[in-house]
Amino acid sequence: MLGRVTQRSIATNALTNLQNTQTRMAKLQEQITSGNSLPKGSEDSVRAAAALRLNDQIAVNTENGRNLDEARAWMVTQEPALESTTKALQKVRELTVRASNGTFDATARKAIAAEITALKETILGDANTQYQGRAVFAGTSAGTVAYDATTYASNDDTNTTVTPAVGVVTRTVSPGVHMQVNISGNSVYGSGNDSLFAELDTLAQKITDGDPTAAASLSTIDGRITKATNAMATIGARTNQLDHAEEVNANQLAYLEAQLNDVQGVDPAKAYVEFTQQNVAYQAALQVTAKTVQTSLLDFLR
């Protein structure tokens, strides 16, 4: 038996259809403006879980990217300091050779000694180089200087001869990969009475006094130059590792973002066309409903 179709049922069905169309339009509009086809996890739990996992992986990747930038900052801070130290030591070597030929009088020797002392101060400044207020040659120490300007005592706590190593500054550059980013100050400059600075003080005094054993310091200077150049070679190797890690990290980020876009991304052109179609249908339905559902005095009396 067919049911009776009333004006009210027609109006109710028309309003329901209009509301459904409005809901679809609102959803499309939200997708277009947000660029996200998955605004609510409850709508598709499988896609929501995949999007959550990918976002977590992207967050880890982004953190590794920041660590890579931090590691590179340590490299580009330490390398110029070591290069400056090497150049200063080469100049000290030249001055020592000149002072050892025995033709300089006391005034000339004092001038050479003063220049060596000035170069020592330059090297001390190199050794106390900072990055973000932290001495880069002091290991994990929180101090702002690696070396005391008077005693030459070192604040470097780096020790790689024990297991696990201590005083090593590391950064996680990729999952499970931790890179050492610091150069031990002690490995280049020494500490206290055994420091490069104390050696230069002794050398300057010998030259001032006309001590013929000053020439014997050349081998010591050469040893310090070798340590500085070895440290720069280590930084070069680490920089190459950073370059590779950055490339891998960038490729991984692009892959993860592409996957995330597949899961929750929106094709703007397609979504806009669908939204336009829904809007046209909605406007047409409004006009048809307005003509079909006519109110009368009886509708108000019911």
Which tokens belong to 273? 């066309």
pLDDT tens readout for residues 29-57: 666 665 665 656 556 678 788 888 998 99
Percent of the chain surpassing pLDDT 70:
73
Write the pLDDT tens digit of every residue in 174-207.
888 999 999 999 999 999 999 999 999 999 999 9
- Across the chain, what does the average pLDDT equal? 84
Distances (CA, A) of 249 to 30, 235, 240, 245, 288: 32, 20, 14, 6, 57
**Burial of residue 96, with CB atoms counted within 10 A of its CB: 0-12 exposed, 13-18 middle, 19 or more buried:** buried
pLDDT of residue 35: 62
If asked whether residues 201 and 255 sit together in one domain, one would say yes
- Are residues 276 and 219 part of one domain? no
DSSP code string of 148-214: -TTT--B----B-SSSS-BS--EEEEETTEEEE-PPPHHHHH--GGGSHHHHHHHHHHHHHHT-GGG
* Residue appearing with tokens 């490729």: 251
Q: H-helix or E-strand containing 256? A: helix 217-264
Q: Same domain for 226 and 290? A: no
pLDDT of residue 47: 79
pLDDT of residue 48: 80
Asked whether the whole model's pTM tops 0.85, one would answer no
- Residue 103's pLDDT band, with cuts at 50, 70 and 90, is confident
Q: Residue 294, Cβ neighbours under 10 Å: how many?
A: 10
Task: Kindly state whether residues 272 and 246 are assigned to the same domain.
Answer: no
Is residue 196 included in any domain, yes or no?
yes
Residue with more model confidence, 187 or 20: 187
- Residues 190, 283 within the same domain: no
Q: At what angle do helices 45-99 and 217-264 cross, to 10 degrees?
A: 160
**Is 179 in contact with 243 (CB distance < 8 Å)?**
no
Q: What is the pLDDT of residue 1?
A: 46
Give me the residue label for tokens 């409903």: 289
In a domain, 30, yes or no: no
Assigned domain for 14 exists: no
Tokens of 78: 């330490």
Tell me, yes or no, whether 224 and 288 share the same domain.
Answer: no
Q: Is 19 inside any structural domain?
A: no
CATH number of domain containing 94: 1.20.1330.10
Residue 33 lies in a domain: no
Do residues 83 and 208 both lie within one domain?
Answer: yes
Closest CA to 207 of 108, 85, 88, 90: 108
145 and 278 both lie in a single domain: no
Is the per-residue pLDDT at 299 higher than 60? no
At 81, the pLDDT band (50, 70, 90 cuts) reads very high
**pLDDT: which is higher, 87 or 26:** 87
97 and 209 fall within a common domain: yes
Q: Please check whether residue 35 lies inside any domain of the structure.
A: no
Number of domains in the chain: 2
Query: In terms of residue numbers, what domain contains 256?
Result: 51-260
Which tens digits make up the pLDDT trace of 261-280? Answer: 777 655 566 655 666 766 66
Instruction: Please check whether residues 105 and 233 belong to one and the same domain.
Output: yes
DSSP assignments along 91-104, one per residue: HHHHHHHHHTTS--
**Claim to verify: residue 230 and residue 273 sit in the same structural domain:** no
Confirm whether 175 is domain-assigned.
Answer: yes
Q: Are residues 201 and 279 in the same domain?
A: no
Q: Is residue 194 part of a domain?
A: yes
